Structure 1
Amino acid sequence: METIIITDVIVSIPSTRLFAAVAVAVVLPLATACSGGGGEKSGATTSAIGADAPACPAQPVKVTVSVDQWGQIAAQLGGQCATVTTVLANSSVDPHDYEPSPADAAEFTGAQLVVLNGDHYDEWAAKLAATSAPAAPVITAAALSAPPVDGAAPNPHVWYSPTTIDALADAVTKELSTLAPGAGDYFAERRAAFTSSMQPYTTLIADIRKAASAKTYAATEPVFDLMAQALGLTDKTPTGYQTASANESDPAPADLSAFRELLADKGVDVLIFNTQTEGSVPDDIRAAAEKAGVPVVNVTETVAPGAVSFEAWQVDQLTALAKALGVNT
């Protein structure tokens, strides 16, 4: 992240989405590397997560997943009965704006099952699946999510919704069992193992909700909002800033001022900060929180570099949040 000197004057400069130029760690080295739009690498991987699972009693199912948030989960559920390829497993690339290459299209060719995020997050992948794997069933995480409340706009970051994770795990297990009926019991065991591996995550959510459901937060981006809702936290981010952030546009000076005043008055218990975004605006907000003594909790949109699994990534963030809110875990 570039270093920007923050002064008392807020300059309206467009925030630039920065996805750390480090490929997400997997158990084995990258199997393939595909060219992304604008010369960037998509970092497609054939995951070895779940490779320590029992041997498969049937022919493994070929699964293609758009982004790594779901790729790691699919690999755990499939074990050795699924070959899971994640097309966009490079945290330096923004899935919203990604321009796929012919090599990316090839990742979908022959896929027996496709897993997407949906909700305009990875439309490029939906198009590739429709042309390169037209016969494959498609599981879309956003379609399994609860609809927004009070007419709010859909939030595409549905991997931060605990209920959506459960629903997707069930859907993937069901489709895998249909595609490889001889491994039905195997997939049921993998689903149970996934539930067990997620227990620290589930326990942390319950503990935070019980102890901190009356707490408040503000966020530099809506990435974490679905999890915050699951925890019972109240969002105090200024409405104008929220709208601008959701639209990836500049907030008005008055909205920035309102955000700074909120933090200066300690009007929230914690600031949620997306570390994969850079620019004068989020940096200024963070500086205001630190100056006021409001705890800052870092989150990421994609699986954090170095995280050994989806649940490890989530547990690290929830643990930091619990500490910031004064919740004993």
Structure 2
Amino acid sequence: MFRTHTQKAFTLFISSFFLILALASCGTTTTGTPSSASPVPAQGKVIEVVAAENFWGSIATQVGGDHVYVTNIITDPNADPHAYEPTAANARTVADAQYVILNGAGYDPWADKLLQSNPASGRKVLNIGDLNGKREGDNPHMWYNPDDVTAVVHKLHDDFVTLDAADATAFDQSEQAFLTNGLKEYHTLIADIKAKYAGTPVGATESIFSYLAPALGLKLVTPYSYLKAVSEGTDISAADEATVEQQIKTRQITILVYNSQNTPNNIQKVLNLATVASVPVTTITETLTPANASFQDWQSSQLKGIQSALSKATGK
């Protein structure tokens, strides 16, 4: 059940408060897993937010602070956001939302269909692909691009202020806290890796690393057509497959970064080759892992894994 927060007369406040507490465990579910959501403040205006994916929901929760309530649709690390089948509960959740966040760029077309099927007057929508100039066919994994993440933070802040101008100061404070404190380790790790390992050739199994690699100053040598094919579940060309295998066998790559949530047989073969060639392997994932992690803790943990693999491979 999705909750709606309204300003009521004082005489109804107490009963409303206990109703909220009673419903605290309700929410949109995905593949049987309850969705994560931001805490519910005891008073004041609250913007009902729905995020198609929990990584964007985590950011929205922190930018909005006590003045937003965020429900995430995709929360299960085993769910495939590309192929997710929305439920009737998801439709109700979107229908009641004041603000909806979808990734866009062809990543979650089901979310756009939910919006079209459940029109609502006054609802604002943030399509992150549109915000960052990405279209279907482009790399949609924008949460791995630090610049795109910053753009989303600013947009969320501005939209929340538009919806709740009375709490603009609170949104200013929470946005600044997230950018300067919440993302501090994330940005420090990116800067440290870039300073130490700039120009280092690396390989990957999916396009989710295609934005982060240049941000880290790393030279991603895996053919992009290979990365995109694995990400989209399409056939890999024989030439690309041969190139990737040769890069590993001859140690043209220093480390291999792979998406542990997507390991079809051809990728398992690549991982085995890396083990034989003593090429360090490190993992990244498509969605928050664990599911209740914050965006920055999840990303920082993965960055530490990349840093450790680079250190092992280069001895520095």
Coarse TM-score class (shorter-chain normalised): 0.7 to 0.9
Structure with the bigger percentage of helix: 2
* CA distance 1:155–1:234, shift in 2 (3 Å): same
Q: Determine the structure 2 residue equivalent to 1:96.
A: 82
CA-CA distance at 1:99 after TM superposition: 1.7
Alignment of 1:32 with 2:27, yes or no, is yes
Alignment of 1:217 with 2:202, yes or no, is yes
Q: Give the aligned CA root-mean-square deviation in angstroms.
A: 2.6
Q: Aligned letter for 2:270?
A: I
Q: Determine the structure 1 residue equivalent to 2:154.
A: 170
Q: Determine the structure 2 residue equivalent to 1:62.
A: 48
* CA distance 1:153–1:122, shift in 2 (3 Å): closer
Q: Determine the structure 2 residue equivalent to 1:6.
A: none
Q: 2:62 aligns with which of 51, 76, 83?
A: 76
CA-CA distance at 1:204 after TM superposition: 0.8
Q: 1:110 aligns with which of 91, 96, 99?
A: 96
Give the distance between the partners of 1:70 and 1:250, measured in 2 at CA.
Answer: 30
* CA distance 1:178–1:291, shift in 2 (3 Å): same
Q: Determine the structure 2 residue equivalent to 1:47.
A: 37
CA-CA distance at 1:215 after TM superposition: 0.8
- 1:67-109, CA deviations, whole angstroms, 9 ceiling, x for partnerless residues? 1110111111112111111112122221111121221100112
Give the distance between the partners of 1:100 and 1:137, measured in 2 at CA.
Answer: 20
Give the distance between the partners of 2:141 and 2:119, measured in 1 at CA.
Answer: 25
Q: How does 1:195-274 map to 2 (within 5 A)?
A: 195=179, 196-238=181-223, 241-274=226-259
Alignment of 1:278 with 2:263, yes or no, is yes
* CA distance 1:113–1:191, shift in 2 (3 Å): same
Give the distance between the partners of 1:238 and 1:30, measured in 2 at CA.
Answer: 45
Q: Scaled by the length of structure 2, what TM-score is found?
A: 0.84
Q: How many residue pairs are counted as aligned between the two chains? A: 290
Gaps of 5+ in 1: 1-28
Q: Determine the structure 2 residue equivalent to 1:145.
A: 132
CA-CA distance at 1:130 after TM superposition: 3.1
Q: Scaled by the length of structure 1, what TM-score is found?
A: 0.81
Is the 8 Å Cα contact of residues 71 and 85 (structure 1) preserved in structure 2? Answer: yes
Give the distance between the partners of 2:177 and 2:224, measured in 1 at CA.
Answer: 41
Greater relative contact order (Cα < 8 A, sep 6+): 1
* CA distance 1:229–1:133, shift in 2 (3 Å): farther
Give the distance between the partners of 1:231 and 1:45, measured in 2 at CA.
Answer: 32
CA-CA distance at 1:241 after TM superposition: 2.7
SS in 1 for 2:299: helix
Give the distance between the partners of 1:33 and 1:61, measured in 2 at CA.
Answer: 16
Q: Aligned letter for 1:241?
A: Y
* CA distance 1:91–1:213, shift in 2 (3 Å): same
- 1:268-288, CA deviations, whole angstroms, 9 ceiling, x for partnerless residues? 111011100122211110111
Q: Aligned letter for 1:139?
A: L
Which moved further from structure 2: 305-314 or 212-221?
305-314
Give the distance between the partners of 1:310 and 1:328, measured in 2 at CA.
Answer: 30
Q: Aligned letter for 1:90?
A: D
- 1:23-72, CA deviations, whole angstroms, 9 ceiling, x for partnerless residues? xxxxxx863354x6xxx43x4525136x7xxx687311111111111011
Q: How does 1:317-328 map to 2 (within 5 A)?
A: 317-326=302-311
* CA distance 1:121–1:229, shift in 2 (3 Å): same
Is the 8 Å Cα contact of residues 61 and 81 (structure 1) preserved in structure 2? Answer: yes
SS in 2 for 1:277: coil
SS in 2 for 1:109: helix
Give the distance between the partners of 2:224 and 2:187, measured in 1 at CA.
Answer: 30
Give the distance between the partners of 1:44 and 1:306, measured in 2 at CA.
Answer: 10
Gaps of 5+ in 2: 1-23
CA-CA distance at 1:324 after TM superposition: 1.6
Is the 8 Å Cα contact of residues 161 and 226 (structure 1) preserved in structure 2? Answer: yes
Which moved further from structure 2: 226-235 or 190-199?
226-235
Is the 8 Å Cα contact of residues 220 and 274 (structure 1) preserved in structure 2? Answer: yes
Is the 8 Å Cα contact of residues 144 and 209 (structure 2) preserved in structure 1? Answer: yes
Q: Aligned letter for 2:97?
A: A
